[in-house]
């Protein structure tokens, strides 16, 4: 594969490892020529590596991410207001789509001879990076906000990375780590949320969705957004497959944020071309609470160029969507994922999505990682063993 990096905005190109940001300030991604690309013959057990021809690594390392199922969710269609399919990315090895970008980043770092890999994260990416670094025999340095909950740190610590709990501004931390990589001689490469290697891995979510639909194309893809790395990956997949001549039409891309922390949706609403930092409020969607998103402007562009939008939803709507997914589809997701389904409902209510639109919602992360305030007493009953049959009969005959 061509190993140059390109700016989506001004078109400038750079050598790999030279930099992660363009001279214009916007994030870079890998330049991939997909003319002549065809859907691979490999079976689905190859996971996301079935697309190795369009990835910047050739020797995959670590547990295989990808080829998560695409599930038609007819039971949720009335709630969603459209023809709904779900892509449960919680089924990846460490429970989120982050594994796709991490697998590319770690494989690249190992092949290039780095001993250390670093990342900045609210939790899922630190977990994913620590696990994959362990599998590749690399050291991991993970920087998390000082207030990261202990149960998240405990999951990460199992893989024995160096964990740094950082006091200070998260956006600044993100920028400083990337600057450090190029401004020092340290033997460490960073795969932060929207760096080129990570976006390369995360585009495979888009490849899988579009391959499963072919020869049709979904009308819309909806996902939660924080840094904009995942959104950039999906947009890149659409562009690359369009260049390959494999799409009759292109899906509209809709991105959803949590109301209390929605800098990209705010810029979209206000008709601005650039995303600027906001002063955030508290939200239950902690994995997507980035008030200064490094790929915010790129995400805004992805929404506008595909005919989509960026919206935000209140936490009550997120809670309701999370509950619907768990009780109707049997899928436990974290609030940051449920945000996307709450967004679908809102987009349907405002007629941006039509009842006969085929809509794919990416459920970004598993709900089995931490505690939520679910009311167990209203859903559990304590019984005496001697009453087993009577209690079951009462429930069954209800």
Q: Which residues bind ligand PLP (CB under 6 A)?
A: 96, 98, 124, 193, 224-231, 287-288, 334, 336-337, 364-365
Cβ closest to Zn ion, residue 8 vs residue 207: 8
Contact partner at residue 96 from Zn ion, ligand PLP, none, CB < 5 to 8 Å by partner kind? ligand PLP
The correct pick among 2, 3, 18, 24 for binding Zn ion (CB under 5 A) is 24
**Residue 10 near Zn ion by CB under 5 A:** yes
Kindly report the number of other CB atoms within 10 A of residue 149's CB atom.
13
Cβ closest to ligand PLP, residue 148 vs residue 227: 227
Q: Which range, of 4-12, 32-40, 45-53, 346-354, touches Zn ion by CB under 5 A?
A: 4-12
The correct pick among 7, 136, 256, 359 for binding Zn ion (CB under 5 A) is 7
**Residue 22 near Zn ion by CB under 5 A:** yes
Q: Which range, of 1-9, 102-110, 132-140, 345-353, touches Zn ion by CB under 5 A?
A: 1-9
Q: Which range, of 24-32, 87-95, 203-211, 332-340, touches Zn ion by CB under 5 A?
A: 24-32
Report the run of H or E that residue 203 belongs to, with start and end: helix 196-213
* 371-379 LR contacts (CB < 8 Å, sep 24+): 371/151, 372/322, 372/335
Residues 359, 308 contacting (CB under 8 angstroms): no
**Residue 388 near Zn ion by CB under 5 A:** no
Binding to Zn ion, residues 89-128 (CB under 5 A): none
Q: What distance in Å separates the CA atoms of residue 170 and residue 398, rounded to the nearest whole number?
A: 52
Q: Which range, of 18-26, 67-75, 107-115, 330-338, touches Zn ion by CB under 5 A?
A: 18-26
Q: How many residues bind Zn ion (CB under 5 A)?
A: 7
Least distance in angstroms from the C-beta of 202 to ligand PLP:
7
With vertex at residue 259, the alpha carbon angle to CA 149 and CA 319, rounded to the nearest 5 degrees, is 65
Least distance in angstroms from the C-beta of 223 to Zn ion:
24
Contact partner at residue 358 from ligand PLP, Zn ion, none, CB < 5 to 8 Å by partner kind? none
Least distance in angstroms from the C-beta of 24 to Zn ion:
3
Least distance in angstroms from the C-beta of 288 to ligand PLP:
5
| Residues whose CB is less than 8 angstroms from the CB of residue 395 and which lie 6 or more positions away in sequence, other chains included | none
Q: Which range, of 6-14, 107-115, 342-350, 385-393, touches Zn ion by CB under 5 A?
A: 6-14
Cβ closest to Zn ion, residue 256 vs residue 300: 300
Cβ closest to ligand PLP, residue 83 vs residue 198: 198
Cβ closest to ligand PLP, residue 6 vs residue 100: 100
Distance of CA 140 to the CA centre of its chain: 21
Q: What distance in Å separates the CA atoms of residue 278 and residue 273, rounded to the nearest whole number?
A: 15
Q: Which of 133, 63, 141, 128 is nearest to 101 (CA)?
A: 128
Number of H helices, E strands in the chain: 12, 13
Residues 130, 144 contacting (CB under 8 angstroms): no
Cα→Cα distances 269→114, 125, 210, Å: 43, 29, 28
Cβ closest to Zn ion, residue 12 vs residue 323: 12
Residue 26 carries which DSSP code? Answer: P
Structure tokens at 385: 């063993």
Helix axes 98-112, 124-136, angle to 10 degrees: 40
Cβ closest to ligand PLP, residue 101 vs residue 218: 101
Report the run of H or E that residue 238 belongs to, with start and end: helix 229-243
Report the run of H or E that residue 172 belongs to, with start and end: helix 170-183
Cβ closest to Zn ion, residue 13 vs residue 112: 13
Nearest-CB residue to ligand PLP? 365
Residue 326 carries which DSSP code? Answer: I
**Residue 179 near Zn ion by CB under 5 A:** no
Cβ closest to ligand PLP, residue 246 vs residue 344: 344
Residues 326, 332 contacting (CB under 8 angstroms): yes
| Residues whose CB is less than 8 angstroms from the CB of residue 25 and which lie 6 or more positions away in sequence, other chains included | none
Name the residues that contact Zn ion, by CB under 5 A.
7, 9-10, 12, 22, 24, 26
């Amino acid at each position: 594969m061509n190993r140059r990096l390109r700016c989506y905005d001004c078109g400038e190109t750079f050598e790999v490892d030279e930099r992660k940001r363009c001279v214009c300030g916007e994030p870079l991604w890998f330049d991939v020529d997909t003319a002549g690309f065809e859907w691979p013959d490999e079976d689905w057990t190859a996971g996301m590596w079935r697309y190795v021809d369009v990835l910047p690594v050739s020797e995959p390392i670590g547990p295989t991410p990808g080829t998560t199922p695409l599930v038609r969710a007819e039971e949720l269609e009335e709630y969603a207001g459209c023809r709904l399919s779900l892509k449960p990315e919680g089924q990846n090895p460490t429970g989120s789509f982050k594994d796709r970008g991490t697998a590319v980043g770690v494989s690249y770092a190992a092949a290039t001879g780095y001993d250390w890999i670093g990342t900045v994260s609210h939790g899922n990416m630190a977990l994913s990076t620590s696990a994959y670094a362990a599998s590749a025999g690399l050291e991991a340095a993970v920087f998390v906000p000082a207030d990261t909950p202990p149960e998240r740190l405990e999951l990460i610590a199992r893989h024995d990375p160096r964990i740094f709990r950082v006091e200070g501004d998260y956006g600044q931390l993100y920028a400083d780590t990337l600057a450090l990589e190029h401004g020092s001689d340290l033997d460490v490469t960073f795969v932060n949320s929207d760096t080129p290697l990570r976006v390369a891995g995360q585009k495979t979510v888009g490849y899988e969705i579009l391959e499963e639909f072919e020869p049709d194309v979904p009308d819309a893809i909806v996902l939660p957004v924080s840094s904009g790395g995942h959104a950039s990956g999906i947009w890149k997949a659409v562009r690359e497959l369009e260049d390959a001549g494999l799409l009759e039409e292109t899906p509209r891309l809709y991105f959803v944020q949590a109301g209390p922390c929605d800098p990209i949706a705010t810029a979209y609403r206000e008709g601005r071309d650039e995303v600027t930092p906001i002063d955030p409020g508290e939200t239950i969607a902690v994995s997507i609470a980035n008030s200064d998103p490094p790929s915010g402007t790129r995400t805004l562009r992805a929404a506008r160029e595909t005919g989509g939008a960026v919206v935000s939803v209140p936490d009550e709507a997120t809670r309701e969507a999370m509950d619907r997914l768990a009780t109707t589809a049997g899928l436990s997701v974290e609030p940051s994922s449920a945000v996307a389904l709450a967004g679908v409902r809102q987009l349907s209510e405002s007629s941006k999505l039509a009842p006969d639109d085929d809509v794919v919602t990416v459920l970004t992360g598993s709900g089995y990682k931490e505690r939520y305030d679910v009311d167990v007493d209203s859903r559990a009953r304590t019984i005496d063993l001697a009453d087993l049959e009577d209690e079951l009969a009462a429930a069954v005959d209800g």
